[in-house]
Amino acid sequence: MNRQEALSLMQEHTQSASLRQHMLAVEAAMRSYAGKFGEDPEPWGLVGLLHDFDYEKFPNPEHSPTDGHPAWGVNLLRSKGVAEPVLRAVLGHATYSGVPRDTQMAKALFAVDVRVGASLKEFCGPRGAVGQEEAQRQGIRPRRQPGRGPSGRRRARRAAR
């Protein structure tokens, strides 16, 4: 499966703009980590782009390891010939799947998924995650992180002297 096919599949199964944004962000981060680890960015990007594509249509509040997200999506991807390491990484990002994160790709997906999810929450309005421009238009401000505002910069300058 190439990126265009994966993107079409993701868009076919996901209507939520914020969930699409999340998967695109995870894809970008995974491609970056692939380069850092000297790996091929294509499968790493695919795993980021497709890891939640079935979440909207097949949520899994019971955390079943065999039904719903991500098992349903992995079965579809397997039928389309997606490589086993990608499938195992997708399954491994769900803690309840029982599939260990035993590859660098699977470990990175688990970490990136959590971090990107937290980052998107910084720009959440009443209808979900929005882009930075839309957040500014609506008057939504990102949560401040300690040491990141003007006073943090002053402290850093003083410490550097």
Instruction: Answer yes or no: is 49 within a domain.
Output: yes
Q: What are the tens digits of pLDDT across the range 15-27? A: 998 899 999 999 9
Domain with 109, as residue range(s), is 3-124
Q: What is the mean pLDDT of residues 93-114?
A: 94
Q: At what angle do helices 41-50 and 3-13 cross, to 10 degrees?
A: 10
Instruction: Answer yes or no: is 24 within a domain.
Output: yes
Q: What is the domain-level CATH number for residue 15?
A: 1.10.3210.10
Instruction: Answer yes or no: is 118 within a domain.
Output: yes
Q: What are phi and psi of 129, to 5 degrees?
A: -65, 140
Q: What is the mean pLDDT of residues 83-96?
A: 95
Are 90 and 74 contacting, i.e. CB atoms less than 8 angstroms apart? yes
Instruction: Answer yes or no: is 129 within a domain.
Output: no
Look up the pTM and report it.
0.73
Instruction: Answer yes or no: is 143 within a domain.
Output: no
For the record, the structure tokens of 81 come out as 């010939």
Q: How many domains does the chain have?
A: 1
Q: Which helix (H) or strand (E) holds 129?
A: strand 128-129
